[in-house]
Structure 1
Amino acid sequence: MKLRRPPRFQENEPALPLINIVFLLLIFFMIAGVLAESPPFPVSPPGFEEKGAEGETKNLRLYVSAEGAFALGSEELPRAAVLERLEATEAAPALLDIVADKEADAAVLVTLMRELREAGQHELRLIVQEGAG
């Protein structure tokens, strides 16, 4: 009885499939990094120990800096213009996220929230950093 030799293992496996996967992952992360919106000025929200909402949706964001500057989305605007824009928008966002710097004056935020409610924006959410203390 004559036995055949098993086929020899190729030491030089083709690396092309691995290179393709790495390249596709690189493209994915480059695109995902571009989609994230960044505030027009540095904002450092205060910390909060509890967990936030698990499934956050993409909402319109209002940024408030420590110096009192305002930005709606990525556009920096004066306070009156922010309120006018939200009043003029017929399809107001269901939920407005407010991202305020931890050094921002609390009285300014309370007054701003009152003005936003008068402008027709009734659902507000204050965004804070998770786990910072």
Structure 2
Amino acid sequence: MRKFAKAKPQREPTIALINIVFLMLVFFMVAGTLAQPLDPSLTLVETRELDGQAPPNALVVYPDGRISFEGEDQADAATFVASLSEEDRETVRIVPDRTLPAAALVSLTRDLRSAGAQRVMLVTKRALE
């Protein structure tokens, strides 16, 4: 008598399929945006008509490199920092003009830090596109 070997059942490659689907899911999560879109009935505030004003306690830097604080011109960064209290020296805010050369902004920041400002922050405009 001859015994026949039982044929092993073929398994489906489901693990490979699950891996591919998982990788596609990760790809689309990374490639797409996960943020909820804005509600179409929402109306955003428009600030086009507002006059631009520097925030309080901010050093305004003009395109020509001139600096002013609360409407008064300042001689230089060292004089400005010397006029501040210890508390105000912790964080100095700068509002630079858009056309100010980057080299002038870096130089001013360096001067403020060497004069005693602990931290220098740039105040910029952010818009929704």
TM-score, length-normalised on structure 2?
0.51
Contact preservation (8 Å) 2:56, 2:70: no
Look up the equivalent residue of 2:80 and give its one-letter code: R
Q: How does 1:50-129 map to 2 (within 5 A)?
A: 60-78=57-75, 80=76, 82-93=77-88, 94-129=90-125
Contact preservation (8 Å) 2:94, 2:123: yes
Contact preservation (8 Å) 1:64, 1:98: yes
State which structure, 1 or 2, has the greater radius of gyration over its C-alpha atoms. Answer: 2
The whole-number CA distance in structure 1 between the counterparts of 2:128 and 2:101 is 19
Contact preservation (8 Å) 1:59, 1:96: no
The whole-number CA distance in structure 1 between the counterparts of 2:87 and 2:71 is 17
Unaligned runs of 5+ in 1: 1-36, 40-57
Q: Quote the offset at 1:65 in angstroms.
A: 0.9
The whole-number CA distance in structure 2 between the counterparts of 1:121 and 1:59 is 17
Unaligned runs of 5+ in 2: 1-51
SS at match of 2:116: coil
SS at match of 2:99: coil
Cα 1:103–1:122, aligned 2, differ >3 Å: closer, same or farther? Answer: same
The whole-number CA distance in structure 1 between the counterparts of 2:128 and 2:69 is 25
Work out the number of aligned pairs and report it: 79
Percent identity for Structure 1 against Structure 2: 23
TM-score, length-normalised on structure 1?
0.49
Cα 1:73–1:132, aligned 2, differ >3 Å: closer, same or farther? Answer: farther
